[in-house]
Amino acid sequence: MPKAGATVLVGMSGGVDSSVAAALLVKRGYRVVGGFIKNWSDSKDLQTGECAWRGERRDAMRVAAKLGVPLLTFDFEKEYRKKIVGDLFRGYAAGETPNPDVLCNEAIKFGMFFEAAKRLGAEFIATGHYARVKRGRDGVAHLLRGLDPDKDQSYFLYRVPQEALGRTFFPIGQMKKSQVRDLARRLKLPVAEKPDSQGICFIGKLDMVDFLRKKIKPKPGDIVDQDGAVIGRHQGLDAFTIGQRERIQVAKGTSPWFVAGKDVKNNRLVVVQGADNPLLYRNSLEIHDVRWCTGKVPKLPLDCSVQVRYRQSSVKAVLAAGSKGAFKLNFRQPVKAVASGQSAVIYRGMECLGGGLIA
């Protein structure tokens, strides 16, 4: 890490991870400025009825006061609704399963927040992500997995631009979650026992179907089996993703049904019985809108490992050129529940090379 004394704008969400990240940088002698990002004002605290972001900012302010650092508030809600929530609705309406956390990191945390840091004169930014950055002698920044395999968040960071990655610290990337909690307690941070946040980035935990219905009207259609026989009705393809088991209303058989495909053109949901049905697996896929962490396309063909969902085990694959500027991934073994709109993230060992959106 660069010498102490540099100014770092730290994204402080009011959670334990970002609070410990800020504390570590203070301890190492950096000039820390906290930055709270307000992106969403619709979520309410179930006990008080207060806008959830106000409570989160209050926690961030308490931590900043404990550490003796200033806290600035950045209101990016207008842009977040347009860039992240807007794309979320458009993706689901098109039959895809987008990942708003991936898009938020690119556009907001390492986009607008990074630009704000530059305007303030900060040399670096930092967040509480479980990931690591290794800076090569040539000045290129490399994104690595966090050392805690249960918390690694590099999957969500593959779209971070090289400029921002090269000026980012992930202070807790070398730590396990249990160590972060223990350190928060030793430092007597006021959020040491605060539960981890869940759900969509900045929005929180919600019923996705209810959320989608705010913008996407129900569009009923047929549920069909793998032979094309109509066995039920659905209220909208946007309510389903590949591999899903819940909310499938059919009047046929007693074994569980799983979503194997979405026929958007004919508004039909294709389902199969059995968790190991071959139609739930893919041997290859194409990715588009690809980002490379170093800014350079690796030499092809490339032996690599790929993760097609967060917390899903990576599998070995070969990356090759695809059609019309896309890239193709051929898996060494079939991969289950591949959903268009999700991200396929490419690794070589512990290094995240990049990734793209699944076609």
Tens-digit pLDDT profile for residues 106-127: 999 999 999 999 999 999 999 9
pLDDT band at 2 (very low <50, low <70, confident <90, very high): low
pLDDT at 57: 95
pLDDT band at 41 (very low <50, low <70, confident <90, very high): confident
104 is catalytic: yes
Residues 257-269: tens digit of each pLDDT: 999 999 999 999 9
304 is catalytic: no
Please list the residue range(s) of the chain that carry CATH number 2.40.30.10: 280-358
Q: Note the CATH number of domain 7-186.
A: 3.40.50.620
Architecture of the domain delimited by 280-358: Beta Barrel (2.40)
pLDDT band at 47 (very low <50, low <70, confident <90, very high): low
Please list the residue range(s) of the chain that carry CATH number 3.40.50.620: 7-186
Query: What single DSSP character describes residue 44?
Result: B
> 90 CB contacts (<8 Å, ≥6 apart)?
none
Residues 208-243: tens digit of each pLDDT: 899 899 999 999 999 999 999 999 999 999 999 999
CATH class of 221-275: mainly beta
Catalytic one of 51, 104, 293, 304: 104
Catalytic one of 51, 201, 293, 352: 201
For residue 101, give Cα distances in angstroms to 131, 198, 272: 15, 12, 30
Token duo for residue 147: 């050392």
